[in-house]
Each structure stands twice: as structure tokens, then as C-alpha cells.
Amino acid sequence: MSKEKYLIGNWKMNHTQKETKQFLEDVASLNLVENAKEKDVVLAVAPSYLSLQVAKKNAHGIIIASQDAHHKDHGAYTSSVSIPMLQEIKIDWSIIGHSERRGYEGETSEICNQKIVALLANKFHIVYCVGETEKEYEAGKTKNIIKKQVTVGLSNVAKEDVKNIIIAYEPVWSIGTGKNASKEIAEDICSFIRGIVEKLYDKETADNLAILYGGSVKPENIHDYLLQENVDGALVGGASLKADSFKSLLDNI
């Protein structure tokens, strides 16, 4: 089992450059990075593309991740951002396959896989999101969906590269809804994901993989998730936007 825990904020389409800088200054004055180190927690936030550079300059030890990346280096892909563009501003972490991209942008696990392969070739760390919709959950299809998303997402990924991947289980019905999945569901699916990775690779690779839960994680419930054997951290949207709330999330790990 990986030793470190992860607290990753996904800011989505929130925070201007000015607000990003303010957040990071607030976080620095609250000594969050030092506290995180003591607790063996890795801290990261994923601002909008426009705020990445200012975030990087004011990071004070917090990892700055992009929310996506295109798998091609350049070309006619309006609104997309390439890996070389991110590398130029020293970004080497990226979220991939967030359900809002799968849902609104029609991103499939096959597309996610192309991105994962390209990012790994460029030595990025990846937070790969998987999760079922409410309809799939109610139809009892969660494990089928997760198995496909994980298997397709990791195809053509060499065993030695899995150490640069974190998988985040985020049931779509729990994101931004306040309807967080129970800790039992989170543990069941995170352990299921570890089992899939063990079958695809081996036990050591699976044991070393960090698996996060995401979906309406708040300072009040983060502790319960992190106590689960197979939950190594949290991917947090709404509750990661304010420095004091981010601090409370960390305090409660």
C-alpha cells in the first residue's frame, strides 16, 4: 500500500488568476505545506489553464496540475492545450477523464487512454478519473463500468509507468450534489479497482497504486473515507476552493 495520502483540489472553471494567487498566499500563511509534510499528505490543486502560470509561480510547494491535456503536440484542435504548452510552464501533473469532460465533451476511455499514453511518455503524473452515472449505479452496473474505464484507460501502459498514475473513483451522481457515496461504497469500489490493476499487472503494482475517492468530499466527511483501507486520498471540487476549507480538509485527514 502506498504510504502517502493525497489531497487534490479540482477547481474546474473557478478562480481567476487573482483569486488563484490569493488562495496560494492564504495557504502559505496557514502553513499548509508543512502540516501536510508532517502527515505525509501530498497536496495538489488544478486551476484553469489561464491560472496555471500564476499558480506555478506562487505554489509554495503545492503541486499544480492541469485539468486536462490534449494527446497531440499541436494541430487544429480549437480550445485544446498540448503537453508541450504545459511543459513550457513546468506543469507535469494532469487530471484526465473527469466526468465533466466525459459528460459534456464526449470524452471516452479510449480518448483518455491516448492522453494517458502521451502524458506518460512525457513523464507526467496523472490523476485518472473513473465513475458511473446515476442511471448506471441504479441499474447495478457500477463494477462493469469501472472495469471498462480502468482497463481501457490503462491499455498500452507499461507496468513501470503505473507508478505515475493515480486513479480517482468519482461516482458521477455524487459530484457537486452533496450526495456523497458512503464510505462502504468508496471502499468497495476502490478495492475493486485495486483488484483490476492486480489482474492487469501484479500485486506489487496494485498495492503501490494510490486510489482516491471524489464526490462531495467535505471537511466533515474526509476522515471517514481516508480511514478506508483502499482509499489513499481525496479529489475535491467545491470544498477545495477556499484556503480555510482546504486547510480543514487537511486537518481532518
Residues with active-site annotation: 98, 170
Is 10 a binder of ligand PGA (CB under 6 A)? yes
Comparison of 69 and 235: residue with beta carbon closer to ligand PGA: 235
Selected from 131, 171, 219, 237, the binder of ligand PGA by CB under 6 A is 237
Site for ligand PGA in 58-87 (CB under 6 A): none
What span, in angstroms and rounded, lies between the C-alpha atoms of 208 and 52? Answer: 29
Q: Which residues contact 95 (CB under 8 A, 6 or more apart)?
A: 8, 10, 46, 65, 66, 67, 68, 126, 127, 129, 168, 235
Return the number of other C-beta atoms located less than 10 Å from residue 34's C-beta.
12
Q: One-letter amino acid identity for 123?
A: K
Site for ligand PGA in 140-199 (CB under 6 A): 170, 175-176
Comparing CA positions, the residue from 226, 227, 191, 188 lying closest to residue 207 is 191
Nearest distance from C-beta of residue 175 to ligand PGA, angstroms: 4
Nearest distance from C-beta of residue 15 to ligand PGA, angstroms: 14
Nearest distance from C-beta of residue 24 to ligand PGA, angstroms: 19
Comparison of 214 and 233: residue with beta carbon closer to ligand PGA: 214
Is 235 a binder of ligand PGA (CB under 6 A)? yes
Give the residue closest to ligand PGA by C-beta.
237
Helices 49-57 + 17-29 axis angle, to 10: 30
Q: One-letter amino acid identity for 214?
A: G
Is 219 a binder of ligand PGA (CB under 6 A)? no
Selected from 51, 225, 238, 243, the binder of ligand PGA by CB under 6 A is 238
Q: Which residues contact 62 (CB under 8 A, 6 or more apart)?
A: 24, 27, 32, 33, 43, 44, 45
Site for ligand PGA in 34-53 (CB under 6 A): none
Comparison of 55 and 215: residue with beta carbon closer to ligand PGA: 215
Sheet of 210-214, strands arranged across: 63-64, 41-46, 5-10, 233-236, 210-214, 165-169, 125-130, 93-96
- The DSSP H or E segment spanning 149 is helix 142-153
Nearest distance from C-beta of residue 177 to ligand PGA, angstroms: 7
Residue ranges binding ligand PGA (CB under 6 A): 10, 170, 175-176, 214-217, 235-239
